[in-house]
Structures are given as C-alpha cells and as structure tokens.
A and B are shown apart, each in its own frame.
Chain A
C-alpha cells in the first residue's frame, strides 16, 4: 500500500483553467505538506497543515488554495493557472512537525504542465 499517494501523476492543462491535485496518506500522520519543485529541483514548501489546521502558509499566490477535509487528506486547488505554475508538486506527511527528527514522507509527485 502506498503511504502517501497523490493524483494525478501528470496534469497538462491550458492557461486560465482551474485544477485540483489530491493527496491522501495512510500513515496516521497528523501533519501534511505541499511542496513545489521547480525545474532546478529546488524544493519549496507552500503549505503545511497539522490536524487540519493551517500552520505554514508561505508566500504563494492566492490562486493556490489548500483544503484539508480530514487529517489523512490535503488537496491543492489552483485557480487561473499560469505558465509559471508548471512544476512538480509534492505532497508529504509527517508525525508531528516540531521535533528535530521529524521525517517527511513524500508522494510520487504531480507533474503539472501549463500550456
């Protein structure tokens, strides 16, 4: 069973469209994250939720809106997609978020291409 699963794995869409990426974890973790990895492979955190509560909200356009219906799910909705949104988006989870040994478990990523 996949620990952190996100769908879809690939997403090609036109500029201006609205799209969602779904993420589910079956590890029983209480913290989930969305990361963006650009073409240079730099991982940048976008959002973090702990027990469905938003705890990290980095400076991302408000076209990006995370939604956590429960501890096991953190979805990412993107409005009015732009070319610069093309990247690989990773969902991750961890047990807690304050410990120095906090280990992040990542999904396989969603490669978003905006044309």
Chain B
C-alpha cells in the first residue's frame, strides 16, 4: 500500500491550458517536496512546503500544502512544452527520517 497517492497518473494537455495534480495521504508529514524528473535524468527538487496551508509559487507553478499536512497540490498556469516531465511528490516523516515517495504524474504538454 502506497502511503502517498498521486493523481492523475498521466495527463496530456495542450500548451496554454491550466492543470492541477494532487498528492494525497492518510498520513501526516512534516514536510512535502515536489520534484520533476525528465527522461534519462534523476528527479530535481522544485519546492519544499512545511507549514499546513502553505502556498509557494515558482513562476507559473503554484504549490499548496494541505492544512492538515496530509495532502498537496501543484497547479500549473498556461502550461508550456518545457513543463513536460514526471512530477513526483515526497513526504518527509520525522518518525523515521525518511522521504516517502508518490508514484508520480506523467505530464505531457503538446504544442
């Protein structure tokens, strides 16, 4: 059983559209990170959110941590082809100092 569920698993949209991907759990995390992974590369950290309700913006990307620190969302405004990739969320559990990973959302932005 995965502790972190990501949805959708796959998303293909046209350039210019908006989208939201979700990361949900029944567990509480001390923090939550979002990574992007491109083909043939390792994941690269985009953002870390720590406080319940926290919202962080990275250009056209908006990340939100749920109030109860059990879920998170990533919203992309006016998607571009360069946003294509696998988006992974990872929750930090300070009970065992481990990052728990979601299975990822594969995002394809078509020109």
Given the interface contacts A44-B101, A45-B98, A45-B99, does A100 sit within 8 Å of B30 by beta carbon? yes
Output the least CB separation between A31 and chain B (Å).
10
A101 touches B104 (CB 8 A): no
Count how many pairs of residues, one from A and one from B, have CB atoms less than 8 Å apart in the complex: 58
A103-B50 Cα distance, complex, nearest whole Å: 13
Residues of A that sit less than 8 Å from B by CB: 4, 40-45, 55-56, 90, 92, 97-98, 100-109
Within 8 A of A (CB), among B9-36: 30-31, 33
B contact residues, range: 20 to 34
A102-B92 Cα distance, complex, nearest whole Å: 9
A43-B2 Cα distance, complex, nearest whole Å: 11
18 extra interface residue pairs, beta carbon distance < 8 Å, beyond A104-B99, A106-B42: A41-B88, A41-B104, A42-B2, A43-B43, A45-B99, A90-B42, A100-B30, A100-B31, A100-B48, A100-B50, A100-B92, A101-B31, A101-B48, A103-B45, A103-B48, A106-B41, A106-B43, A106-B44
